[in-house]
Amino acid sequence: MKLAVETLSETFAAVAAILWFMSARVRLRKPGLARRGLETGLDDPRLLLRLVYEQSQWSAWAAIAAGLAAIFAICDGLIR
């Protein structure tokens, strides 16, 4: 049981790291779009809002995975 909980904890920690990398990749992949969204001002903020939405979606999943990793790490510590 302890080994299973420890494995789940480490797996979710790795998944969280990958998802945070994907979140950063959205920003790095389209730097021109963010710049154009900022340069156009209030007339056309759709590009910038889309980037923020995509990045926050990945970040939300990463936070969920990190939370699950923390829960399994706590359970691993409590199991004898």
The label of the residue with tokens 């920690």 reads 13
Rounded to two decimals, what is the model's pTM?
0.72
Dump pLDDT digits (tens) for 19-41.
Answer: 988 888 876 666 665 555 555 55
The pLDDT, as a whole number, for residue 51 is 77
Closest CA to 7 of 73, 78, 79: 73
**What integer pLDDT is reported at residue 67 of this predicted model?**
94
Structure confidence at residue 9 as a pLDDT band (50, 70, 90): very high
